[in-house]
Amino acid sequence: MLLHLSTWSEIEAYLARSKTVVIPIGSNEQHGPTGLLGTDWLCPEIIARAAHEASADILVAPTFNVGMAQHHLDFPGTIALRPSTFMAAIGDWARSLAHHGFTRLYFLNGHGGNVATIDAAFSELYAEASFAGRSRGFALKQRNWWDLRGVGKLARDQFPAGHGSHATPSEIAITQWAYPEAIKSANYAPQIAPSGPIRESSDFRRRHPDGRMGSDPGLATPEKGGELVKLAVQGLIDEVKAFGADSAP
C-alpha cells in the first residue's frame, strides 16, 4: 500500500494486521553534471514502491525528501536542513505514526550524510519515552538501500572502478531505470572525480568543482539500475517482514 493513495479507514484496517511502515528518506542535492537533484530520495522511493508492487502487504509512507545537504549548497537546486531541524522533523514524523499505533518504523535511507542525524533523532525519541517513564513500544530502524542484502556487492561487481561516494554510477543507474526520460549526458573531466573531506559548501565546491566525489557516473546504465532495484526489493521485503516480527538484528 502507498499511504498517500490510501484513505484513513484503509490505514486503520491495515493497522489491525500490521504495525510496520516503511519511510523512504533522502536528500535533495546536486549529484554532479548528470545526476538528478532528487537522486538520494528517488532511489529509496523507487525501491520501496517496487517492493510495494511486488508484495501485497507493505505500507510505504510519503518520502521524506530533504536532509543533510549543507555541503552541497553552493550548487543551485540543493535544499538543506540543518541537523537540529532534521532531527525535529524526523521526530514529529515518527510521533505522528506512533500516535496511530505504528510500532515498527523502518526508514529506507538514500543519503550517507543523513545516517548520523537519523540515529541521533532515534536516540532522542527513545530518550523521550524513557524520561517520561512510559514505553511507546516502538522500534526505529534505518537501512541504507546500498546495504540491503547483496546490493553493495552487486554495485562493486558492476562498477569495480569509479564508483566513488557521491554521484555514484549505482545511484544514477537506479534513477535512469525509473526515469529514462530524464537521462542526461556530459563529458566528464577528469573521468573519475577527486575525493576529499566534507566540510562547508564553498570548500566542497572548490574541491569538487562539478559536484562528483570519486565517481564516474558515465558507467551508469538503466539495465544496471534495474538489476540493483530487483535485488534491493527482495532484501527490503525480507528485512521489513523480519522487523515487523521483531526478529531483525
Task: List contacts with Ni ion (CB under 5 A).
Answer: 39-40, 171
What separation in angstroms does the CA of 78 have from each of 3, 122, 174, 200? 26, 25, 20, 14
Q: How far is the CB of 237 from Ni ion (least distance, A)?
A: 23
CA distance 50 to 123: 30
Q: How far is the CB of 88 from Ni ion (least distance, A)?
A: 23
Q: How far is the CB of 84 from Ni ion (least distance, A)?
A: 23
Q: What is the DSSP string of 73-136?
A: TTSTT-BB--HHHHHHHHHHHHHHHHHHT--EEEEEE--GGGHHHHHHHHHHHHHHHHHTT---
Give the DSSP H or E segment for 53: helix 39-54
CA distance 107 to 62: 11
Which lies closer to Ni ion via its Cβ, residue 40 or residue 239? 40
Q: How far is the CB of 168 from Ni ion (least distance, A)?
A: 7
Q: How far is the CB of 31 from Ni ion (least distance, A)?
A: 6
CA 42 to chain centre: 8
Which lies closer to Ni ion via its Cβ, residue 29 or residue 243? 29
Identify whether 190 is preceded by a cis peptide bond (ω within 30 of 0).
yes
HSE toward the beta carbon, residue 159, CA cutoff 13 A = 26
10 Å CB burial of residue 28 (0-12, 13-18, 19+) is buried
Which lies closer to Ni ion via its Cβ, residue 49 or residue 111? 111
Which lies closer to Ni ion via its Cβ, residue 171 or residue 227? 171
Q: How far is the CB of 145 from Ni ion (least distance, A)?
A: 10
Which lies closer to Ni ion via its Cβ, residue 68 or residue 236? 68
Q: What are the backbone dihedrals phi and psi of residue 49, each rounded to the nearest 5 degrees, phi first?
A: -70, -35
Which lies closer to Ni ion via its Cβ, residue 39 or residue 109? 39
Q: Are 224 and 169 in contact (CB under 8 A)?
A: yes
Cell of 206: 572548490
Residue nearest to Ni ion according to CB distances in the complex: 40
Q: How far is the CB of 123 from Ni ion (least distance, A)?
A: 24
Which lies closer to Ni ion via its Cβ, residue 11 or residue 115? 115
